[in-house]
Structure formats: structure tokens, C-alpha cells
Amino acid sequence: MRPRKSILCVEDNEQILSVRKFLLETRGYRVIPMTTAAEAIEFLKDAPQGSIDLLLSDLILPQMDGNELIRRAKQMHPALPALLVSGTISNFERATAADAFLPKGACNPAELLDRIRILVARKRGPKKQPMPVREIETAMPLLAQAS
């Protein structure tokens, strides 16, 4: 069984957070729910590098907006993919730190899940290609000389 991917989900509306958490957990993700950006920053300070697979945040949050949260999170975890969602479509120009932006009302759950799947896969990076046999044969005499 593959390990579950962890998503840090930040949303100040507890109803939306609950629905999003349920949606993601039923698809096999481990969800760490937070209601403020400050909570998320504190969590990320102690989180080991690579332990979080995606930061999913609302744009409009109290005290610190989602864009600032993502900027700070990427300072601590540079490889962390981030998806920003907002209730208004016109806010996408404010989503400068995120890897992707989705308007809440204009996207359905399938689109959200698809975007999450893509961002989590991107974090893993490209698969390493095996060394071609010809290169292995060329390297063998060099390795023998070195020893």
C-alpha cells in the first residue's frame, strides 16, 4: 500500500474546511486542517522537509492572506506545492506565490481533485531513468581502474 499524501488545508470557514477535509480523506489523502494562516505557519516550522505534499489555502484569511501564507511556507519548504482558492474569480491576480489558483464557486470537486493530483505528482519530481546498458559497459573499465 502506498503511503498517503499529506495536505495542509487552511480555510477560515469551518463548514468549507469540513467538506474539503471529507472530500480529500475519502480520496485517500491525509488532511491537516487549519483555520488560520498563523496556525499553519507554526505547524510548518516544526514539520520535517518533505512531510507535507501540498498546501491548499483560501486566499482571504484573517490577519494574513493565503498568498502571504504561501510565500512564507515556501521560504521554509521550497519544494512545497501550493494551491490557492478564492471565492471571487477576480482575485487570481493576487495569487502570485501559488503554483495554481482555482476560484471556489467556478470549479467543481472533480477539478479540485484533479489539480491536487497533478500538484502532488509534480512534487515527487520526474522518475529517474535507468542508465543505458552502453553507458554501464563504458563505465565498467573506468571503475575497475579506480579500484
The cell numbers describing 129, all together, are 531513468
Which CATH superfamily is 6-146 part of?
A: Response regulator (3.40.50.2300)
Query: How many percent of the chain have pLDDT more than 70?
Result: 72
Three-state secondary-structure class, residue 106 = coil
Residue whose C-alpha is closest to residue 66's, from 46, 85, 90, 89 = 85
Rounded to two decimals, the pTM is 0.77
Task: For residues 130 and 147, give the distance between their C-alpha atoms in angstroms, rounded to a whole number.
Answer: 24
Q: What one-letter code names the amino acid at 95? A: A
Instruction: Dump pLDDT digits (tens) for 96-127.
Output: 678 887 877 667 888 888 888 888 886 654 44
Higher per-residue confidence, 95 vs 43:
43
What are the strands, taking DSSP E only, across the chain? 6-10, 30-34, 54-58, 82-86, 100-103
Residue pLDDT, tens place only, 56-97: 999 889 899 888 999 999 999 999 999 988 876 555 555 567
Whole-angstrom CA distances from 58 to 12, 34, 106, 143 are 8, 11, 14, 54
Cβ burial of 141 (10 Å; 0-12, 13-18, 19+) is exposed
Selection from 56, 99, 101 nearest residue 78 by Cα: 99
pLDDT bin (cut points 50, 70, 90) of residue 5 is very high
What are the domain boundaries of the chain? Answer: 6-146
